A = this chain, B = another copy of it.
């Protein structure tokens, strides 16, 4: 087995503690010679601000560029809320996405059988739910220029952001969605506000063109983003793959995650384009944020971080078998009745972050 370069970026809040449990899983695998990694660790987010004054130091960026995959924790917290905009922890992940060209953020929303009751929705509405959201993640309103807060002639402040999408940006995100749909239930729901936004109008046109030219066999449906939010809540199982801009994807993927009731279980991947040499930049992170309110208490659920590592094994390292091993170990821990606080249910055994990590290793 080749030496793969893995960069670990724990970040802030519960990031370090859940990442600690992943390290146990990696250790176990390395001992069994199931994998061999060259592991680097770097600073990002508030942790990087505290140590070096910027949310994504050049050294971190370089290490990420050289790595075969990045395992990311989470960034942000009240400690850095008063900093000027350009120095916020969140810019750490935005810079990584942008500089590595990680344009396709894949966010599965899956309801595992033992966790059906964790959802706030009725069991029948969410049982077996399996949605994949493809969120465009290097364009749109988080990056468009002009942006800033200006003062007008009357001394009044004006805040500006620009939503801008080129047809190529839309097309490559759409291709990822159609490709995934082919391996799933063959349906893509593309969301925008083509009725009131110009970027939405272009979005709808380009997605239709890519569909017609390259993926006519996949079912394509267009849906306004407001309606998509509504439909996700009322009839989520109608969806297979949902395609969305950076902004709508942010909101809709968080909503889809909330439907499952088990945010602490959900991994995500953000992928770049395949390079001429066959390499592809990729970053894996849990959907949950840094959860500063519970950080350091040892009660966080490390599953999403562990499952992000499993996704990494599968998609970046081609280790399908090892990925399944990890995923099944997590599932067996749940089936055995152990629950971290976030997914606790009556009759189950409440366990800490580290016991969850240990239990996963035991199941391995």
A residues contacting B by CB (< 8 A) are: 76, 85, 88, 90, 94, 120-122, 125, 141-142, 144, 147-149, 152, 156-168, 193, 195-203, 205-206, 225-227, 229-235, 247-248, 250-255, 257-259, 261, 263, 289
The answer to whether A196 touches B166 (Cβ under 8 A) is no
Nearest first, the 7 A-B pairs at minimum CB distance are: A159-B202, A159-B199, A233-B258, A230-B258, A226-B254, A229-B255, A161-B163
B-side contacts of A144, CB under 8 Å: 160
- Specify the main secondary structure of chain A where it touches its partner: helix
A94–B163 alpha-carbon span in the complex (Å): 19
B-side contacts of A158, CB under 8 Å: 164-167, 202
A-B contact pairs, 22 of them (CB 8 A): A121-B121, A141-B163, A141-B197, A144-B160, A147-B198, A157-B202, A158-B164, A159-B198, A161-B197, A161-B198, A161-B199, A193-B250, A225-B250, A226-B250, A226-B251, A226-B254, A229-B229, A229-B252, A230-B254, A230-B263, A234-B258, A247-B247
B-side contacts of A88, CB under 8 Å: 195
B-side contacts of A163, CB under 8 Å: 141, 159-163
What residue in chain B is nearest A117 (Cβ atoms)? B122
A200–B121 alpha-carbon span in the complex (Å): 30
B-side contacts of A235, CB under 8 Å: 120
Contact (A166, B142) CB under 8 Å given A85-B201, A159-B198, A230-B257: no
CB A281 to nearest CB in B, in angstroms, measures 21
CB A222 to nearest CB in B, in angstroms, measures 10
